[in-house]
Amino acid sequence: MRTAICPGSFDPVTNGHMDIIRRSSLLFDRVIVAVMENYHSLHKPNRLFSADERVELIRRCTKGIANVEVLSSGGLLADLFRQKQADCVVKGLRVVSDFEIEFQQALINRELNPALETVFLTAGADSMFLSSSVVKQIAQFDGEIDRFVPEEIVGDVIKRVKELT
């Protein structure tokens, strides 16, 4: 059985994230969506959801995809990879700057765990511009986010943004 890990902060999960998760589920027997709780995500000033909340939101969005499981991890991706006996890490790329960051992370992860291979999937043309930060900004100014996040969580995102502003 081939297992892939799709790591990220997913705050909130977007349709772009869901595209990568769905496509990964077609390529691998098992896909673990890992909500990574690390230094970077803990210290983001505009965090909307806790790791547990993000896991629950993603579970709602992936409930129809049988080979996807969702969990959170507070450690190194290289260690999670080893614990879950994964075959690769899948990362989505939107723009060239994503590649630079993801390439660096792939190299350091491979240094930490030589068995860790990273597979890059390019974003669909309809989500190349999309990020969680953009979704939060649109919602903060009462813009419509329906086409940017899964319908299962639109209300959750809007409600949380309103609570925080």
Render 99-121 in DSSP notation, one character per residue: HHHHHHHHHHHHHH-TT--EEEE
pLDDT of residue 40: 62
CATH number, domain with residue 121: 3.40.50.620
Instruction: Quote the CA–CA distance of 63 and 143 in Å, as a whole number.
Output: 27
Q: Classify residue 143: in a domain, yes or no.
A: no
71 phi and psi, to 5 degrees? -150, 170
Q: How would residue 46 be classed by pLDDT, with cut points 50, 70 and 90?
A: confident
The answer to whether residues 19 and 123 touch, using CB atoms and an 8 Å cutoff, is: yes
pTM confidence score: 0.94
Q: Classify residue 137: in a domain, yes or no.
A: no
Q: Classify residue 135: in a domain, yes or no.
A: no
Mean pLDDT of 136-142: 95
Q: Classify residue 58: in a domain, yes or no.
A: yes
pLDDT of residue 77: 96
Q: Number of folded domains in the chain?
A: 1
User: What residue numbers bound the domain in which 95 lies?
Assistant: 3-130
